[in-house]
A and B are shown apart, each in its own frame.
Chain A
Amino acid sequence: MRRPSARYVLSVLSVLFLPVLAAELNFSADVDRTTVGLGEQIQLTVTVQGTNIGGVPRPQLGELPDFTNLGSTSSQSTNISFVNGRMTQQQTISFIYFLSPKKVGSLTISPATLDFKGATYQTQPIQVTVTKESQAPPPQRQQPSFPSWDPFAPQQSSRPVRGSVHVAGYADRTNVYQGEQVTVTYTFYTQQQIADLKLAEVPVFTGFWAENLYEAKELDYRDRDYQGQRYSAATIKKVALFPTRSGELEVGAMKLAGQAIRSGGFFFQNAEPFEVSSDPIRITVKPLPETGRPANFTGGVGDFSVKASVSSDSSIDGAPVNVVFAVSGTGNVRLVGEPKLAGLSGLKVLSPETKDNIQTGEARVSGTREFTFPVIPTADGKHVIPALEFGFFDPKSGAYYTRTTAPLEFIAVGAGSAAAVAESEQGMKVLGSDIRHIKESYSLSAGSWGAAMPWWNWLFYALGGAVFATGLLVGRHRRRLEQDSGYARRSRSSGVVKKRLVQARRFLAAGNERDFYSALAQAITGYVGDRFNIEAGGMTGDELSAELLKRGAAAAAVSELLELVKGCDAARFSPGMASCSPAGMLERTRRLLEQL
């Protein structure tokens, strides 16, 4: 079998992969119509479409000697999709040019070129046929109400056409700021019966952005005065013009052609062709003042309000959240530039998609321009988009104003995965996220959330309270001992008297009666002194009796006490005079002390 040659393999590979490479960027051009009347406007759209084409430059238009470039704009849209966890951004950037042909014939729009990432792309040339006559649908004929067709009124039809048919352009103001609306109305005046009226030359609005307010599909005649005479007048076109530059600008003239019906007798009539043109209108456009121009001014002239919102309050796995900034109001809505939404930490902001919703009423242009920024979180957590500011110029007051939106916020979870995919095509790729795996070890905290507190845990509270109360009482007792001598003596009296009685018993057991009675007397007087906080040792019997009775002691007890003390003294100093045995004295003393 013959092996395929290297050239053959390369050819096959190139056939397989070239379309893939080519598909990364599509560059094309298109026009809204290929046949256009002289003086009319044609829209050339150059489209760049592809993946990851951020930072693509503006295409270079070829030489256009047969066209006048009236102005340009651009729009952008981003389509983000996730396929198998991988994010793909498909961007489409459209550069729109408004061209006006300079001559009649078959004209060519030269190819546009684009240099991007080292490659050069080129569109196909486009052929456009330019006719002398307007390609706009002609207004339908309607007989003027005045003068009406009346076969018996030959004096009307006998008028010369010249001087009885006019077209006039009227601007509501001729001295405006750049970007301020000028409303121009083209009106057809006639004193003749008209047939086959058509637009011979469309007015050119070089240096203006034009928004059609009204275009007659059917002429609606009304009686009006023009240059001191009575005419039937019909509005042909009403257009809102926004100057895109300052200086002296000219609004082009409108040329109409038609036939005036002239009577040739009772049953005959003939038609006389005519062509009328309006005068051009000169508009003085003042530049916007430099003084007071805010940094956030993006070209808005009029009266606007702003609003911002997010499409979702949360982003999961790096899914983009759309931040929508809407400018609403009256003025040059279509010329408002995008606000700055950059420098946000943890967020990647893509180029916005612009969407216009314009309402063209009878007089003013109003509407909403929405900028939708796809925002991709690159970090988890709560993201706050600070208040967006929008500056605009109000021509009525001649001053700049700034409107501010409310801050926005949303929460991102699992943001790292998509961000990693979006940021790098090589290296580590996070393809998804999942819950964390199960535990292998059973040893993680065991127990139950609803279990009652164990009884011994309550013991800590009980013990703590008891210890505290005890400490409180002990502390109080200690302080009182230190501060109150009477309390201290009273507190110690029981212990002291017990010791003395024990000592007395020892003396008695040892047969030392003299010392026994001495210790007994000391025990009695010492206890009484401590108990009642008096110096009983230095008192006579009467003094002691009086003091004890004064302090509330029972009279019988006092009497017994004095008797015991006397008995002890008698036994000490006159042993034979003892009236009672030592044991009896000890028992009497014990009873007395209990009584006291």
Chain B
Amino acid sequence: MRGQVTKRQRDKGIKWRRGTFTHLFLCCLPVFIPVLVHAGTSQEYFARGNQAYESGDYQSAIGLYDSSLAQAGSAAALYNRGNACFKSGQVGRAIADYNRAHVLAPADRDITNNLEFARQYRPDKTTAVENPLVRLSTNILRVLSYSTTRLLAGLLFFAAFATLALLFVTGNRWYGLSAIVPGVLFLYCLAATLSWRADINPARAVVVVPEVTLRSGPGDEYKEMVVVHDGLEVTIASRRANHVLVQAPGGLGGWTPAASVEVIFPAR
């Protein structure tokens, strides 16, 4: 009876497949359990944070979102914590959280809208108008998230070079032409990754106190240079004990207590 599968063989095949899937699931369960437990705990804090936010208890909401984020990173939790900070008058912390959420979910319009909205509320307004071409290119490069561009860059690199290898082996020029597509996409993902890396800069910080004076040196005995306010985004140029040297847009800068600024993307 060649070419025909008996019922026994068929049943055996199904059992084998079922057994394989069960076996694979049981093998992977130890890997997924911590993730599921974390996700559950993080979601629980997230939901409780939302309840506190809805009731107007923004400080409690911030604490609960903190707990949620300590368990697992989430753009939604960062965004909601940014909202709670904004509602409680902490514009600088809100801007920091919106920036973080934007990196994880760049396509989310709520995040970009609230980031722009919060920036309008800070007392120190920047007069520099962004070059529209730079803005356009940045928007094009930031369509996908940082992690997605990194993953795609690896996949496209492999695809482009494997296709080129086929060209060398077979001599068929169509493989060469076919390699252009993954090659160009790889270069885009590489540029996007570099763009994100420039954004996710540990030197980026935001002022989180209502008002602070920048001085010419790391201490209160130094000359006062400029007064900045909550929400101003700065770049940390140098660090000393308990003090940081920050530079504001436009070139102004000075030393300030480290506690008066919050690093947006702390190095991990």
A binding-site residues for B, Cβ under 8 Å? 313-314, 316, 382, 409, 411, 413-414, 433-451, 453, 457-461, 463-465, 467-468, 470-472, 474-476, 478-479
Please state if A461 and B200 are interface contacts (CB–CB under 8 Å). Answer: no
Residues of A close to B154: CB separation below 8 A: 453, 457-461
Q: Which of A409, A444, A471 contacts B129 (CB 8 A)?
A: A409
Given A314-B120, A438-B53, A471-B164; 20 other pairs, CB 8 A cutoff: A314-B125, A435-B83, A435-B113, A442-B77, A444-B74, A444-B105, A445-B108, A446-B74, A447-B74, A447-B147, A448-B268, A449-B100, A451-B147, A453-B150, A460-B157, A460-B158, A461-B157, A465-B161, A468-B164, A475-B168
Could you list which residues of chain B lie within 8 angstroms of chain A, going by C-beta atoms? 42-43, 46-47, 50, 53, 72-77, 79-80, 83-84, 86-87, 100, 103-105, 108, 110, 113-114, 116-118, 120, 125, 127, 129, 145-147, 150-151, 154-155, 157-162, 164-169, 171, 200, 265-268
**Nearest 4 A-B pairs (CB), nearest first?**
A471-B165, A475-B168, A460-B154, A450-B268
Residues A464 and B160 in contact, CB atoms below 8 Å apart: yes
In angstroms, Cα B80 to Cα A374, docked, is: 38
Q: Complex formed: what's the CA distance from A446 to B118 in Å?
A: 23
Task: Point out the residue from A413, A434, A444, A463 that lies within 8 Å of B158, measured CB to CB.
Answer: A463
Partner among B42, B53, B167, B265 whose Cβ is within 8 Å of the Cβ of A442:
B42
Residues in B neighbouring A465, C-beta threshold 8 A: 161
B43 cross-chain contacts in A, Cβ below 8 A: 442
Minimum distance in angstroms from B48 CB to a CB of chain A:
12
> A475 near B169 (CB under 8 angstroms)?
yes
Interface contact B113-A439, CB-CB below 8 Å? no
Complex alpha-carbon distance, A474 and B50, angstroms: 61
Contacts of A382 in B (CB 8 A): 129
Residues B168 and A450 in contact, CB atoms below 8 Å apart: no
Contact A468 B162 (CB under 8 A): yes
* Given A468-B161, A468-B165: A447 in contact with B50 (beta carbons within 8 A): no
Nearest residue, chain B, Cβ from A462 = B158
Cβ contacts under 8 Å, B114 to chain A: 435-436
Smallest CB separation, B68 vs chain A (Å): 8
Instruction: Report the nearest A residue to B164, measured CB to CB.
Output: A468
Instruction: Give the shortest distance, in Å, between A572 (CB) and chain B (any CB).
Output: 44
Interchain nearest-CB distance for B268 vs A (Å): 4
A439 to B53, CA, bound (A): 11
CB proximity of B50 to chain A, nearest CB, Å: 6
Q: B203 → chain A, closest Cβ, in Å? A: 14
Inside 8 A of B53's CB, which chain A residues have their CB?
Answer: 438
Which chain B residues lie closer than 8 Å to A313 at the CB level?
125, 127
> What distance in Å separates the Cβ of A374 from its nearest Cβ neighbour in chain B?
20
Question: CB-nearest residue of chain B relative to A448?
Answer: B73
Q: Complex: how many Å from CA A296 to CA B39?
A: 69
Asked if residues A445 and B104 are in contact (CB atoms below 8 Å), the reply is yes
When A and B form their complex, what is the total count of cross-chain residue pairs whose Cβ atoms lie within 8 Å? 139
Q: Which A residues are in CB contact (< 8 Å) with B164?
A: 468, 471
21 pairs, A vs B, C-beta closer than 8 Å: A409-B129, A413-B120, A414-B117, A440-B50, A442-B46, A442-B74, A442-B77, A444-B79, A446-B75, A447-B147, A449-B200, A451-B268, A461-B157, A464-B157, A464-B159, A468-B164, A471-B162, A471-B165, A472-B165, A474-B165, A476-B168
Chain B residue at minimal CB-CB distance from A479: B171
* Contact flag A457-B150 (CB < 8 Å), given A438-B83, A448-B73: yes
Q: Separation in Å of the A435 CB from the closest CB of chain B?
A: 5
Q: Are A444 and B108 in contact (CB under 8 A)?
A: yes
The answer to whether B74 touches A450, judged by C-beta atoms less than 8 angstroms apart, is: no
B72 A446 Cβ-Cβ under 8 A = yes
Say yes or no: A471-B168 contact (C-beta < 8 A), given A438-B53, A450-B266, A465-B161. yes
A519 to chain B, nearest CB (A): 35
A439's contact among B79, B100, B151, by CB below 8 Å, is which?
A: B79
Instruction: Report the Cα distance A508→B117, complex, angstroms.
Output: 93
Complex alpha-carbon distance, A442 and B74, angstroms? 7
Report whether A439 and B110 are in contact in the complex, using a CB–CB cutoff of 8 Å: yes
- Inter-chain CA distance A414–B121, complex, in Å, is 12
Residue of chain A at shortest CB distance from B102: A449
- State A433–B117 Cα separation when bound (angstroms): 9
B-side contacts of A442, CB under 8 Å? 42-43, 46-47, 74, 76-77
Chain A residues whose CB sits within 8 angstroms of the CB of B74 once the complex forms: 442, 444-447
The contact of A464 among B42, B100, B118, B158, by CB within 8 Å, is B158
In the complex, chain B residues whose CB is within 8 Å of the CB of A433: 117
Residues of B within 8 A of A463 (CB): 158
CA of A439 to CA of B164, assembled, Å: 45
Specify which of A435, A468, A470, A478 is in contact with B86 (CB 8 Å cutoff): A435
- Chain A residues near B73 (CB-CB < 8 A): 446-449
Q: Which residue of A lies closest to B53 (CB)?
A: A438
Interface contact B165-A470, CB-CB below 8 Å: yes
Minimum C-beta distance from A140 to chain B (A): 55
Decide yes or no: A478 and B169 within 8 Å by CB, A449-B265, A451-B268, A457-B151 being known contacts.
Answer: yes
Known: A413-B120, A450-B267, A472-B165. A436 touches B158 (CB 8 A): no
A434 to B171, CA, bound (A): 62
